[in-house]
Amino acid sequence: MIIDVWQGRYAEINRHYEILNKEIATFHQEKGKVLELVKKQFIADEEFKTEFERVKAQIASKQVELDQSRLEEFDIDRAVSYVFDFITTLPEFWERANYYQRLKLISLIFPEKPIYNYFAFSTPRLSHIFQAKTASDGGESALVAHKGIEPLFSG
């Protein structure tokens, strides 16, 4: 699911990137037309300067937008694998973690503060990733489709 969402977002960014490139190409054509008009002496120098600066400003603006829309390439499969490897080795990480790392980890696992009622601690809810994990350990998960005519798989 994570990879599908990433691919959808990446496709959206690529579409936006293509649109910006087309707009920049159109402005370059417009710039060429303005140059052609001045060569043929159809417009005055002052009018040329104004129009030429306007087109250059639009190209620069679109170029900045294009540069800001680029995403650094990275391997999403490797990133997802790293996250799940980290989750499966949480007990080992906890043992090696310093005080501040433990505080951060607790806040990631328990988005709401634990409650103490003089007998024990309880937690209002777990973070989403741990809700899915505990559901897969034996409870029912709302993230997985109910059984249908498909073959049953373990895990």
In this prediction, residue 99 carries a pLDDT of: 92
Instruction: Give the pLDDT score at 40.
Output: 77
8 and 23 fall within a common domain: yes
The pLDDT, as a whole number, for residue 5 is 73
Residues 91-148: pLDDT tens digits?
898 899 999 998 888 887 777 777 777 887 777 777 766 665 544 555 554 444 545 4
Model confidence over 61-76: pLDDT tens digits?
888 888 777 655 556 7
Locate tokens 């499969």: which residue?
A: 77
Are residues 85 and 59 part of one domain?
no
For the chain, list the strands marked E by DSSP. 115-116, 121-122
Overall pTM surpassing 0.75 (yes/no):
no
- Does 44 lie in the same domain as 97? no
The residue segments making up the domain with residue 86 are 76-136
| Same domain? 31 vs 53 | yes
pLDDT at 71: 55
In a domain, 154, yes or no: no
Identify whether 147 is part of a domain: no
CA-based angle 94:100:105, to the nearest 5?
50
| CA–CA dist 96, 76 (Å, integer) | 27
What are the structure tokens assigned to 35, written together? 């140059």
- Tell me the pLDDT tens digit for each residue of 11-36: 887 888 889 889 989 988 988 888 88
Domain count, the chain: 2
pLDDT for 98 equals 93
Note whether 33 and 60 are same-domain residues.
yes
Question: Are residues 64 and 8 part of one domain?
Answer: yes
Residue 108 forms part of a structural domain: yes
In a domain, residue 152? The reply is no
Per the domain annotation, does 150 fall within a domain? no
**How big is the chain by its Cα radius of gyration, in Å?**
28
pLDDT at 138: 53
As a whole-number percent, the residues of the chain with pLDDT over 90 amount to 5
What is d(CA 86, CA 78) in angstroms, rounded to the nearest whole number? 12
